[in-house]
Amino acid sequence: MSATRLRAALVDRAATQWTALGVTLQAPLERTVVDLEALVGLTATVGADDARVWRGAVAWCGRHGRFVNNARLRRVVTEIGVAGDDLAEFAIAARRAGAPPWLAAGPASRSAGDRAALDDLVVLRPTRNASRLLWHLRATFGVNARADIVANLVARPGSSLTVLELAHLTRFTKRNTAVALEDLRLAGVVERQGGATLRRFRLRDPGGLLRWLEQPDAVSYPDWVAQFTVGLAVVAFLEVPAQSERVRAIEARQIATVLRPAIERAILPGPDLRVTGPAFTGAFDTWVEQLARRWEAPA
């Protein structure tokens, strides 16, 4: 399978997520929590394939880019594997539209006409699905680890997690996570369990918090960082011509092995590694088709 369908599927997923955030695109709405930094990284890499997605994303960031955490953005795009030039190009475009200087991209310079044209691409309507949960939590708790911790705990009702587990999920440092958890505990949002050696944290009243945020009774928050890591790595692999079918099978197995931790973290299906020899090329292509179907917008 060529990279074309998988890359187009990732563009589709970017479109559904920007649409859920209020960008006026002809795309279905994402129903799970949108990871803002992962979406920016994905868009910086594949968004230019669709001018509407690119312009809509730039418009949203020009108006609401203050809700993107700069430090986390740098960690997330490094994990995803976003090229520095791609991120810089998007950051500069967003900065010109009014976004913060994520990469010291220079001063905002858009004219009033440009502002009006871009603002028309973002129309916020009330929504009760989970897509805007992280955004709304950052508006409530600030653009820091507190909002991301709450989002991950809300998506795991009844679970109690350690500082290290939450740092792993949120992509914040262990120290920042510990400080944010103490803030949330003092505010009565989370409660601490366990002894001094292994402390775990959970939401004090997840149902009440969801009602207060006008969210559904249950929300889903996939690990979009891991999912986009897998998708973009496979696209990059497929875009390099293979020397032969045998070499392609060997290299496909290598990329699948390297990506196994991200595949497991994203709870994605993996290729059938029981298939050996040149036949693995077919198993790998079948897997790529599964990934494409997962991220494609419904016809």
Q: Which of 6-20, 97-111, 115-129 has the lowest mean pLDDT?
A: 97-111
In this structure, the number of other CB atoms found within 10 A of the CB of residue 30 comes to 24
Lowest-confidence pick of 108-112, 114-118, 269-273? 108-112
* pLDDT (mean) for 194-218: 85
How confident is the model over 266-294, as a mean pLDDT?
A: 93
Res 3: pLDDT:
86
Residue 113 has pLDDT above 90, yes or no: no
| Residue 114 confidence (pLDDT) | 54
Mean pLDDT across 159-167: 95
Average pLDDT over residues 28-32: 91
Q: Percentage helix, strand, coil, to 5, in the chain?
A: 60, 5, 35
DSSP structure class, residue 120: T
Query: Span 70-76, mean pLDDT?
Result: 95
State how far Cα 285 lies from the chain centre. 24
What residues contact residue 131 under an 8 Å CB cut-off, 6+ apart? 17, 20, 21, 29, 30, 31, 32, 33, 34
User: What letter does residue 206 receive in the DSSP assignment?
Assistant: H
Average pLDDT over residues 10-36: 94
pLDDT for 253 beyond 90: yes
Model confidence at 245, pLDDT cuts 50, 70, 90, reads: confident
CA 248 – CA 274 distance, rounded (Å): 17
The pLDDT score that the predictor gives to residue 198 is 80
pLDDT digits (tens, 9 = 90+) for 120-132: 788 877 777 899 9
In degrees to the nearest 10, what's the CA dihedral of 256, 261, 263, 266?
A: -170
Across the chain, mean pLDDT equals 90
How far apart are the C-alpha atoms of 218 and 133, rounded to whole Å? 12
More confident residue, 169 or 298: 169
What average pLDDT does range 33-54 have in this prediction? 96
Averaged pLDDT for residues 146-163: 93
Take residue 174 and report the two structure tokens written for it.
Answer: 């262990």
As a whole number of angstroms, the distance between CA 200 and CA 160 comes to 5
* Of 94, 97, 90, the residue nearest 116 (C-alpha): 97
Instruction: Give the model's pLDDT for residue 111.
Output: 46
What pLDDT does 112 receive?
Answer: 43
